[in-house]
Amino acid sequence: MWSCTDCEGVNVPSVDPMMINCVKQKKVTLEDIMLKLNGMGSKYNILLEKFLKQDIDYRTLKTELFGVKKELGEIKNKKDNTVDSEEIISEIMDRSSRSYNVMIFNLLELGDPVLNTRIKHDKDSIANILRPANVSDNEVVRVLRMGKRGVKNRLAKVVFPNPEAARSVLRSRSVILENCSHKISINADQTTSHEYTSRIFVIGLINVDRRVKMIFLLNSSVETYYYI
């Protein structure tokens, strides 16, 4: 008859329950440590990304500062080639404030003597023009007419809540013009220095094949558009 004494496992020592608990606790502790290490690794990666982004932003700002200084120097009187830091700061601040705006030429203007009626007409016109670019009415902060009344279809400055909204309109320029019922022109709101260098840039493309040139302009980061 079979008995437990016939089993080979009879001589196998039993495992201490306390040892089992100790091993389990150590396993849990190791898992916690691994989780913490992984968390620290994620935080490190985030900090590294922030550092790299700040480094890129710094280099971009540095490049822009040198670019602005060069532009101001080119249009300055030849007898006085000095460009001070105040001019550079003023130019950057001016460009920053203008980045919220888009300039529309030949936008039909109402001849009504009542100001509010003219403002409403301009806002409605802008909303219709920008609709193909998926720009909602509430994205237009205000529309300002430049110059004195009496001039036919004065230049219209369209102010947006942020620069990205303005850039989105400029990028969608071709779609807007295709769907517009009358001929208009859309440009960025630029300083004299910025406009000068943009014109030089476009003139430099005159000898480039027209098809290549148009593709380049449509895909570039240049925010001003000119008829060539």
Provide the CATH number for the domain around residue 132: 3.30.70.330
**Residue 185 lies inside a defined structural domain of this protein:** yes
State which residues form the domain around 142: 96-190
**Residue 139 lies inside a defined structural domain of this protein:** yes
Give 74's pLDDT tier (boundaries 50, 70, 90): low
**Residue 153 lies inside a defined structural domain of this protein:** yes
CA atoms within 13 A on the CB side of 128: 11
Q: Which CA distances in Å does 188 have to 6, 12, 103, 194, 215?
A: 96, 86, 6, 10, 19
Lookup result for tokens 């980045």: 99
pLDDT tens per residue across span 180-223 = 888 899 998 887 766 655 555 445 555 555 545 454 454 444 44
**Residue 110 lies inside a defined structural domain of this protein:** yes
Is-above-0.85 flag for pTM? no
**Residue 32 lies inside a defined structural domain of this protein:** no
Arithmetic mean of pLDDT over the chain: 72
**Residue 33 lies inside a defined structural domain of this protein:** no
- Top-ranked range on mean pLDDT: pick from 4-18, 28-42, 109-123, 214-228: 109-123
pLDDT value, residue 109: 92
Structure token digits, residue 138: 């509430």
